[in-house]
Amino acid sequence: MLKQFTQPMSPKNLNLQTMYRIIHKFGPVSVSDVVELSKLKPNTCARLLEELMQANLIQLSGYGLSSGGRKPLMYRINPEAYSVIGVDISLSYITIALLDLELNIVDVSKKKFHSSESAEAIQAFCVESVQRLILEHHIDQEKLLGIGLGSTNLRPVNGIVQLLEERFKVRVIEKNGADLAALGEYRKFNPDRGERLIYTMCSISIRSGLVTNLGIENRLSVLSDRAFGHMVVDVNGPRCSCGSYGCLEALSSIQAIRHELIRLIRLGQPSKLTELVDNIEYFEFEHLQEALTLEDPLTCQVVRTAAYYFGVGLFNLILITQPDTVIIGGALGPNPVFFNTAVDAVTKRMTNMPEMNIQYKPAANYNIVAIGAGCHIIDSFTE
């Protein structure tokens, strides 16, 4: 039935779609909750709930709190009614996740890809991984809603949407990975959902995504997810790849941190990084993580400086977007050394703005782009 929601529909089916959307977004919910949110009559809601139950799209979820009488029955979606697949194509890894309708990860396939590897190699891995997930988990063709794809224009894979559509005969939607990360965080890990959430990524590049209670915020250009990374926070800072000076990406990205550590170690400053890798020129992100775990003074110092500038840029972004919740994610963002320093830099600048009550959280899941991609597929059938 869920796939029928994309076809021209009668008023009754539109009401069924509305009911399912409410239960998916806010469940478990009672009949009175559904009546209030849908603005439909109680008898109509009861009849439509029964039809959704018969179609196996929703199920009972125990009893809610009583307001004086009997405890109300609660309804939730049936997470196993369909499956979705979320794909994250980042600069370092390709992640393919099989998800249920509650956005729980059933299985995941992940592989590191260097920047020099071809689009054809990425396409082949995606096709092979999706095929494996479908076969190993016995997913019937009719029960696969679609494939969501989160990408970055820093790593274009031309033709992958058409390839996946032709190979698996399902809906495939490609969106900006940063926005999908924001959507995944908002819907899966923020049950209190305010009106606006921004998701920031500190990885090889620095990006941001924005989602509101109406959905993913429309983008003005294909480059705007990278605008945060090219916000100038130090006019006397190092030259950025964009040609400007003092951009966040030139000061706070993993690449910027790596270059600064190599420079300082070459100048003779001691670091445990030299014990973790034979040639400091070739140290990887995994070595940076280990040095932070070992509390290497030089590594912590450089990361804190990068995080400080990240916080300065984040403060500017907050003033523009006015969010309720700020997520700091990406490969490095959730690390306590980086996260705490960045949040401290923001909050010190917010002391004269007590009316802005903002929650700051590290990203809840490293596979969040794939989760958001799956969520976007579900929304395409229910919105």
**pLDDT per residue as tens digits for the range 31-66:** 888 899 988 898 999 999 999 999 999 999 888 887
What's the confidence (pLDDT) of residue 223?
41
pLDDT-derived band at 306 (thresholds 50, 70, 90) equals very high
User: What's the CATH code of the domain at 332?
Assistant: 3.30.420.40
Q: Give the C-alpha separation, 57 to 76, whole Å.
A: 9
In angstroms, the Cα distances linking 240 to 192, 249, 300, 331, 343 are 38, 7, 23, 20, 24
User: What is the extent of the structural domain holding 149?
Assistant: 83-186+369-382
Q: What is the pLDDT of residues 176-230, one digit of tens each?
A: 899 999 999 998 888 776 788 999 999 989 999 988 876 665 443 344 677 899 9
Which of 36, 60, 77 is where one domain is finished?
Answer: 77
Higher pLDDT, 192 or 282: 282
Three-state secondary structure call for residue 327: strand
User: At 83, phi and psi to the nearest 5?
Assistant: -125, 155
Query: What beta strand segments (E) does the chain contain?
Result: 58-63, 73-77, 83-89, 93-99, 105-112, 144-151, 171-176, 196-202, 206-212, 215-216, 325-329, 359-362
Q: Is the domain of 119 the same as that of 236?
A: no
- The verdict on 119 and 196 lying in the same domain is no
Write out the H or E segment, with its range, that includes residue 262: helix 254-266
Same domain flag for 233 and 313: yes
Asked if 55 and 90 sit in the same domain, the reply is no
pLDDT one-digit tens code per residue, 79-125: 999 999 999 998 888 999 999 999 999 999 999 887 777 888 989 99
Phi, then psi, of 209 in degrees rounded to 5: -135, 155
Question: Is 272 found in the same domain as 162?
Answer: no
Same domain, 199 and 331: yes
**Which residue, 77, 104, 121, sits at the end of a domain?**
77
Same domain as 224, residue 158: no
Residue pLDDT, tens place only, 243-258: 999 999 999 999 999 9
For residue 222, count CB atoms less than 10 angstroms from its CB and return exposed for 0-12, middle for 13-18, buried for 19 or more: exposed
Judgement on whether residues 223 and 354 belong to the same structural domain of the protein: yes
CA 323, 338, 241, 154 dihedral sign is negative
Q: Say yes or no: 318 and 251 in one domain.
A: yes
> What pTM does this model have?
0.90
Do residues 260 and 358 both lie within one domain? yes
Count of structural domains, the chain: 3
* The pLDDT of residue 214: 64
pLDDT value, residue 221: 39
- Which of 41, 57, 77 is the last residue in one of the domains? 77
